[in-house]
Chain A
Amino acid sequence: MKRRDFIKLSANAALVLAFAGLGSPLYAEGNVTTPKTVVNLMLDGGPDFRHLIVPVYALNNNDNNSYAAKFWNARASLWRVSSTDDLKQAYSDNYDEVIISGEKYGILKKCAWLKDEITAGNVAIINNVIASTDRNHHHSQIVIESGDMNADVYNLDVSGWAGRAAKSLSANVLSLSASVRLVCNGPHSTDVRKHDNSCVISNYYSRDTGLVNYDTQADLDEGNPQYKWSEEGIMSRSLSSYYSAKEPHVPTTSIFRKPIEHEIKVRNFGIPLEERLNETPIPASIASLRERDHPNELDSSTFAHQIQALYDSYATQDILNMRLASLDYTGWDSHKNLRTQIEPKFEDIFGRDRGLESLFTESTLLKNDCYENSVVIVSGEFGRQLKSNGDHGNDHGRGNSMLVIGKGVNGGMYGDPFPEYEKEFLEVDNKDIEGKTSLFKVYAEVLNWQKNGLGTTVFGDLSSHDVENGVELGSMFS
C-alpha cells in the first residue's frame, strides 16, 4: 500500500480535519476573504508601557505638583538626569505628541508607525489591566496564557486560551515563537489538567516546514538507480514507511502519540506549504528586517524571524487553517538600563518600516483584507513599579497597559492611563499601577469579535472580573 493510501485510512479525524481545504487556487489569487484572525504578541519580562506613552512634560510646565512633573521625577533615574529642565528636555528629545481620546500624550519617537495607527484610530490602549496579582514572572505568564487565575506555577501541562479558542473554532493556532508557548496549548479531551496540541502548528521555520522526502518515483520514472544507494533515499523511504505503518498502532492515549502526530502534521502540511511559498517570495521589506547592517534590521533577529513566519502564515492561511497566531518578544525585564534595554524593542515592533508596519503593509498587498480582519494583542505578564530604581531601571509591579491593534478596532484610551491619585505614590518605593480591569476580559472581548460568545467559551464566566469604571470594553469593536 502506498503512503498516501495509508494516510487516508489511518490519520485520525482531528488531523484529517486540519488538512481540509489544502491549497485552494482562489487563495493563491488573493480572492479568499481573510478569516478573523487574532495575533497574540507576548512581551516577556514585564514591559513598561509607561515608557511608550507618557504624560506630556511641556517646557512651560512649572507646576511641580502636576502629575506630569511627579511622573517624570519619579522616573528620573531612567534618564540619568535629575533636574526638571533636563527631564523636560528628555521628554522633548524622545517623545512626539499624539492625541488619544481627545487628550494629548507623548509617544516614543521611535514608534512612528504606532503613532500613525493611534492617530488613525486603530489602536485601543487599555490601561490598568491586571491578571496575576503577584510579581512573579513565571507564575504571571502562566496565569495570563492559561487564562486561569489559579494556575499552578509548577504545572505547564495545561491548556492556553488561544489553544482553546482554536479548538472551539475547529481551526489551528500557529506557534510562531521559537518554542511553543503555553497560550497555544489546546485542551485535552478528557483531562482538564492536561493539554493536547493537535490544534497547534509550529511554524517558526515557515519556509522549512516539511519532511525531507527523497523522490524515488522520479528515479524510477527515469530509470535512475540512484535511489538504491542514496542514503537519503534509503532513510527517507525507511522512516516514511515506518511512520505510516506505525500510526494505526499507537493509541491516542499513548505517551508515544505526540511524535506520531507531529509526523502526520509536518508531512502533510509540508508539501502544500512549500509549493505555495515557492510562489510567494519573501518581500524585500520583510527580508530587510533580518538583513545584517540594513537600516531596517531589527534588534531582535528572533522577532524578525517571527514577522516573516507570520507573513508566510498569512500567505498559507487556508492550508494552515490559521485563526490565531502566537508570537513573543523576550527581554522586557528592565531592572537596569531601561532605555537601552527596551527602546530598541519598542522600535522593532512599532517603528517606521519595522516589524508590524512591514508585516501589515506586505500582508495587505498579499491579501487586501488582511489588516481589516486581524487584531494584534500586545501585552506582558505585569507592569513595573511607579518609581524607577537606582540602577536606571524599574522593578516588578502588577498593573499595566496593553494594546489591541487592528483596522477593525475602535482606537482610544480605555481607562485612565495616569490617574491623579497616583501622585502621592510616585515617590514611594514599591508602589505600582493599580489593576482595575481584568486582562482576561480584554482577551475575551477580542475573541468575541472573532466569534460571538467565544470569549465565554474560552474563559468561562468572567462576571466576577472587574472592569475600570467608565470603561466599555465592548466598544472596542462596535
Chain B
Amino acid sequence: MKFFMHTIGFIVVSMVMVACGSGGGDSSSSSTPITEDIPVLTLDKINNHSVTEYFAPFEVQTQLTQTDTSPYHFYVESSNTNLIQATVTDRGVITVSSASGEAGTGESNVTVVVFTLTDVASQSFMVEVTPASFSGFDPLSFNIVDDATWDEVAVRKVLNTFAYGGHATDAQIVTWADMSPKAAIVQIMTFDAQNLLLSPKEDTLPDSTSLETLAIFWQTDNSNNFLDESQRRYFETDRWDAPANAWALASMTRGLNPFLHRVGLWETNYHMAANQLAGVYPLPMLHHYDNIVNALSQNSTYKSVIAQGAKNAAIAYQYGHRYNIFTDGIFRGNEDFAREFHQLFLGILGEYDPEYHELVTIPNTARALTDMQAHWYPTEEGGPDVEITFGTEQHYSGDLDILKSTISGADASVKIDAIASVGIVHEESLKNLPVTIIEHFADNNLNEEAKTRIRESWRGMESKYLLTFLQAYAISTDFHNPLRVKYANSIQRTVRVSNLMIVDNEDNSYRFYTPLSRLSEEDIFLFRPTHDVFGHQTSVEAADSSDVFRVNYNRSVKRSYIYTRNYYCEEDASGSCPRDENDVKIGVWEKDWAKKIPADSNGDYLVEDVALWLWNHFIGDGGKNYGVLERAHIVALLNGKDLGLFIDEEKPLEVYSLSDLSDNITLIQLIRDGSIAKMDLESSDISDRRRANRRVGLAIAFIVATPYIYVQEGR
C-alpha cells in the first residue's frame, strides 16, 4: 500500500506501509476506527486500488488474518529521506521512530492494526492505495543495489526483463531511477490488473486480470474498445487462438499490466503448462490462466497459486486424471499428473528418497487426485466444463502418505491444498523451484553463490509470495550484475519489440504489431508449448538456433514494413484508398513516433538524438553497445538510406569497417552531417511526417536485428 500525499506547503510526505511475510490480501475488513475524531483509512482489501482525499492527521487501519504471524512493517518516507518505521507484531504495540520530527503512534490487537500520523497539519492530500507488496522493502537474502547503481539503465533492464519493456514514459523511468530501488520496484512490479505507472491509461478498460473478461470486452462495440471492428472477431472465446490473441493484446495494451501477464505466461506456458495441442479447449485454457493470475493478484501465497493451477480443469484434460477414481477399493486412473504435480509444479523430483517417491508418493498422489470431474462436451453443446467439480463418492477419502507426510481431505481439492502446503517447504522444492524461476525470467548464467542467495531468499519467506521474491531479486546485486546473462527466447524478444512499437492504443487497433504472427514464423504458438507440459522454448534453445536468428534477420529485410508502416488506409471496392485534396491517401491510422520520441529544447528532432533514443528504447543498455558502427548505420537509415548508399550512391555495396568510420575524416564528417539533420516527425505536411516515421521504422528494423536484441547483460 502506498500513500501519496500531495501536501500544501514545504513538506511533501509519502508513506508506504509494508508487511513482511504476510499477505493479508485475503482478509476482509470490518474494522472500526479506534479514534472517532480523525479520519481513518480503512483497507478493505490490500488488493484494492483506491485514491481518496484525506485530511491529516489520519489513521491507517487494516486487519491481520488469523494466520498472520509475521510482523507488519510501516514506513513513512519524507522528501528529505527521513524514514519513520513502525514495527507491529501480532499482539504488540507499534513503536515509531522518526529522524525528522514526524511522529506516529499506534497500537494493535489481534485483528486490528492502527497507525496514526499525528504531526501533519490538517491539510488536504490524496491518498493512493495500491496493492504493492510489502516485500518491496524486504530484501530477503539478497543484497540490494545501491542508489548509484540503480539508474535509468537499471530500470530499463528491469522493464525489459520482467515487463516486455513496459509502457512507462521516459519521465517515469527517470523518476524511478531517482527513487530508491526499494521504493521504485514496488511501483514497477505489481500484480494489479492495471499498473498506471508501468502502463499509462488512455481508455477506460476493464479493471480485470481476466483474459476472458478482456477478450469479451474486445469483442464488443464499447466506445472504449480501441480495436477496429475488423479485429474483434479474433477475441471470440471459443476460437482456438482466443487465449493467445487475448494474452498478446493484454500484454501490449496501455493501461493494463505487462508484468502481470509476463508472469501469467510463465505460469501457464512454462511452470504449470497446459497445451492446446493436447486437446485443452480455449475456455478451459482461459480459465487456467485467469484462475492462476487471479490468485497472484489476490496476493495469495505461492502454494495457493500452485494448488490453484493443479485444480484447474485444463490440467485435468491435459493429463487425464479427471478419470481417476477410487471405487470398490480399487484405484483406476493414471499417475501422469501425480508425478508432474511434484516435479513440475513444486520442483520435487524424488531425489530425497527415490524408491519411496516412486512407490509411495506418486501412487498415493494419483489417489489424492480422484473424483475430479471435468466433462467434455462438444462446442455446440456448450463446450467442455471449464472448472472441476470435486466429488467425494469416487474419491479416495482416507489419509495418504505423500512426501512422508499424512495428507488428509474429503476431496481432491483439500488434498491438493495439503500437498502444496507440504511440498512448498520440501527440501527439494526449496532447492529447485526458486532457481527455476530466476533462470526462466532473468539469468542463464547463475553461479553457485547466486543460487545460494536465491534459495536462501525463498527459504526465508515463511509464507512464500512470488511477487515478494521477484521484487527483491529485481533490485538485487545478483540481477544488476555483470555476470548475469539472459538470452531472450522468441516470446520474450518478439513481445518486447512489439510492445516497444506501441506509442498509444491506436497502434493496437489493427493489431499490426501483434507478436503472434512473428512467433508463428519462429514455430512458436502461445498456449501450445513446444515441450508439451515441460514448457515452451527456452532461452538457450532460442539462442542456439540459427533458424531463429535467420527468421528474425530476414524479417527486418524482407518484411521491414512491420516496422516502417506509417499509415493505413481502407480501400474501397475498386481497391483504391480515398485521397485528400493534395492527392494524399487518407489514413484511418497514422504512425506517430513524435508521441513517444522527445524533441530537443528547440522542438527539433535531430537524427542523432532520435538514433540514441531508439537504441535505448529497444536495447536499453544506456548506449553501452551503441558504438561507431551502430551509430553510423542508424544515422544513415534515419536519413532514409543504408550506410553504403548514404556515403556513396555509386558504391552501395561497399562495406565500411570500424576503422574506416573511426579514422576516415571524410566519413566522419558525412556521418556527422547526417546526425544533425532534422527529422520531420512533427511536420504539418502529412507526407513528410509519414516519411520521417518510415525512416524511424528502418532504424528499428536494423536495431532489432543486431546481436544486442538476443541477449541482455546484467550490467
Contact = CB atoms under 8 A, between A and B. Distances in A.
Contacts of A227: 645, 652
Contacts of A260: 707
Contact of B485 (A138, A240, A255): A255
A137 B534 contact: yes
Contacts of A175: 545
Interface in A123-154: 133-139, 153-154
B494 to A, nearest CB: 15
Most buried by B among A201, A209, A390, A429: A390
A260 B710 CA distance: 11
B490 to A, nearest CB: 10
Interface stretch (A91-99, A327-335, A356-364, A402-410): A327-335
A350 interface: no
A75 to B, nearest CB: 14
Contacts of B354: 133-134
A204 interface: yes
Interface stretch (A245-253, A413-421, A460-468): A245-253
B343 A138 contact: yes
Interface stretch (A1-9, A56-64, A79-87): A1-9
Interface in B510-567: 523, 530-532, 534, 537-538, 540-541, 543-550, 553-554, 556-558, 560-561, 564
A136 B544 contact: no
Interface stretch (A212-220, A290-298, A315-323): A212-220
B655 A391 contact: no
Nearest to A137: B534
Most buried by B among A214, A257, A258, A337: A258
Contact of A238 (B531, B643, B649): B643
Contacts of A241: 633, 642-644, 654-656
Given A3-B653, A234-B698, A336-B336, A250 B707 contact: yes
Nearest to B561: A231
B213 to A, nearest CB: 33
Interface stretch (A27-35, A111-119, A178-186, A371-379): A178-186
Contacts of B485: 255
Nearest to B277: A331
A390 B367 CA distance: 12
A168 interface: no
B534 A138 contact: yes
B629 interface: yes
A265 B642 contact: no
Contacts of A201: 546
B661 to A, nearest CB: 8
Given A211-B550, A241-B642, A335 B332 contact: no
A238 B655 contact: no
Contact of A242 (B350, B530, B564, B629): B629
A258 B656 contact: no
Contacts of B217: none
Interface in A238-294: 238-242, 244-246, 248-250, 255-260, 262-263, 265-266
A139 B349 contact: yes
A331 B702 CA distance: 39
B556 A154 contact: no
A185 B323 CA distance: 40
Most buried by A among B444, B545, B656: B545
B546 A202 contact: yes
B323 A391 contact: yes
Given A244-B655, A266-B546, A391-B323, A255 B629 contact: no
B546 A265 contact: yes
A235 interface: yes
A255 B546 CA distance: 15
B391 interface: no
Given A137-B534, A333-B336, A245 B444 contact: no
Nearest to B630: A242
B359 interface: yes
Contacts of A393: 320, 334
Interface in A157-175: 157, 175
B557 A242 contact: no
Contacts of A6: 655
A242 B323 contact: no
Contacts of A238: 633, 636-637, 642-644, 698, 702
Interface string B672-714: 0000000000000000000000000010011001111011010
Interface in A1-23: 1-3, 6
A139 B354 CA distance: 13
Contacts of A45: 532
Interface residues of A, number: 80
Contacts of A216: 652-653
Given A1-B657, A157-B540, A202-B547, A390 B331 contact: yes
B654 A1 contact: yes
Contacts of A248: 658
A200 interface: yes
A396 B641 contact: no
Given A201-B546, A244-B655, A255-B713, A237 B339 contact: no
A236 B701 CA distance: 11
Contacts of A424: none
Contacts of B701: 235
A389 interface: yes
Nearest to A135: B358
Contact of B363 (A154, A157, A430): A430
Contact of B711 (A135, A234, A246, A258): A258
A144 B358 CA distance: 20
Given A246-B629, A266-B546, A391-B320, A237 B707 contact: no
Contacts of B13: none
A138 B560 CA distance: 39
Given A241-B656, A430-B359, A335 B320 contact: yes
Given A241-B642, A250-B707, A336-B336, A179 B653 contact: no
A335 B334 CA distance: 6
Given A138-B343, A335-B319, A430-B358, A390 B332 contact: yes
Nearest to B649: A228
Which A-B residue pairs are the 4 nearest by beta carbons? A390-B332, A262-B549, A335-B336, A238-B642
Given A231-B560, A391-B320, 17 more contacts: A1-B657, A135-B358, A201-B546, A211-B550, A212-B554, A228-B652, A242-B629, A242-B702, A245-B655, A248-B658, A259-B707, A262-B549, A336-B320, A336-B334, A389-B335, A391-B332, A429-B363
8 contacts: A1-B657, A2-B654, A200-B544, A202-B545, A235-B698, A241-B644, A390-B334, A395-B335
